[in-house]
Structure 1
């Protein structure tokens, strides 16, 4: 991978942290932006604490990161939240607003500030979407709405930035084997859902491959879309879901 300088939002844990580690292992210098402190950072990387819902702070953090890196080749927008499990008719609007602010507005602000610094002709943006970027969920209305919005942002930004040779794509994970998924399944079990192990088995059974994706599976897709092997691909959403019907 020939990406020299990268910014990863939501890079303190999960898919974002896995992405930062992969990029660093390929020699990429970078900055992690996350509201939570990163337990560990790849060698040579730095971190800035910032909430992506604070547009001014996020913009400044990106500007500072670009200055420290001396430019930018790749933005990975991985910051995201999954709200509590709520039927549509019982939706908490505060949760809805927070979810939209993180998952959709945060992506818009990140792209707005990163785009001017991205290398013309080779710069790339990869956004972490979801299978809920095209599917609904009776208990995750806010999340599905935010991830549908992400797809619109990606497709529009691809058209806007394409004349500069900057590509914009998204990955669309299904359920991913992370600690965060386990916590959500615990919460859903407490709210009357299936036991976590039963839920995990059900998720795996619902895929063509008989397993859910790992962080490495998703990072493989991010690495592909962020690098030169996808030089003619922009405005697309790449599912990484094990073949969910």
Structure 2
């Protein structure tokens, strides 16, 4: 029987890198994203088996779409969708908090309901959250509140599925040097009336390693959860912030 991997947010910077890495391991990757065209383009560029699955994880329709794309046991399922929400508590449209929660909090529940019948001993269930969910910042009301909720939900999921041999992992990268983060820096700079360069310097100053984490490093960490020894990491939060998180968690 073939083994599947499921990646939600498959056309994003992190998601596409993860699809490529998992396909290179011989897994059949069900790549989930909203754009059928972007999924098809990505699948054609990868040397491996990728099954495009156009679906919006913010909608319950995604459950049936993902289930219909599966072909065997799910070895690993990852929610790597980004948040379409920006702004501080002073400026954010409050309705957008619900939109973001549908993507990450509702999304993780939908992903679980989609893959649960195909999980078994040794399967990994993974969510990519963010350090703002643990250590709030002044400019990101959405990522702070929503990722905190996602981390809590993952703890609940781990309590449900640990006895089944299905391990549950929350991966918490700090800010990564990606085009998306540079766009966010531009939004913050506009809100403050400052420059993108100043905001970017603030990101770097918060990281004791002296640089932001790279996408390939985060992908490496997620891939290593497939090792049998990663069972012991069940229920934990894996910090990949390059020394950015100050508070003990």
- Equivalent pair of 2:86/2:141 in contact (CA under 8 Å): no
Please list every run of at least 4 consecutive aligned residues from structure 1 whose deviation after the TM superposition is greater than 4 angstroms. none
- Gaps of at least 5 residues in structure 1 are none
Match of 2:32 in 1: 33
Q: Provide the rounded CA distance (Å) in 2 between the counterparts of 1:227 and 1:29.
A: 17
Q: Provide the rounded CA distance (Å) in 2 between the counterparts of 1:114 and 1:53.
A: 16
Shift of 1:184: 1.1
- Equivalent pair of 2:172/2:237 in contact (CA under 8 Å): yes
Match of 1:159 in 2: 159
Match of 2:192 in 1: 192
1:203-233, Cα deviation, whole Å (9 max, x unpaired): 1221110000110111112112243230222
1:144-164, Cα deviation, whole Å (9 max, x unpaired): 111011111111111100111
1:37-74, Cα deviation, whole Å (9 max, x unpaired): 2342223202121111111x1101121122xx223111
Q: Provide the rounded CA distance (Å) in 1 between the counterparts of 2:26 and 2:52.
A: 17
Aligned residue-pair number: 238
1:113-150, Cα deviation, whole Å (9 max, x unpaired): 212211x2111111101102211122222221110111
1:137-196, Cα deviation, whole Å (9 max, x unpaired): 222222211101111111111110011100001110111111111111122222235422
Shift of 1:236: 0.8
Shift of 1:30: 0.9
Counterparts of residues 138-153 of structure 1 (less than 5 Å):
138-153=138-153
Tell me the SS of whatever aligns to 1:231. Answer: helix
**TM-score, reference length from structure 2:** 0.89
User: Is residue 202 of structure 1 aligned with residue 202 of structure 2?
Assistant: yes
**TM-score, reference length from structure 1:** 0.91
Match of 2:7 in 1: 8
Tell me the SS of whatever aligns to 2:225. Answer: helix
User: Is residue 59 of structure 1 aligned with residue 63 of structure 2?
Assistant: yes
Q: How large is the Cα RMSD of the aligned pairs? A: 1.7
Q: Provide the rounded CA distance (Å) in 1 between the counterparts of 2:193 and 2:159.
A: 42
- Equivalent pair of 1:7/1:65 in contact (CA under 8 Å): no
Greater relative contact order, per chain length (Cα 8 Å cut-off, separation 6+):
1
- Equivalent pair of 1:176/1:214 in contact (CA under 8 Å): yes
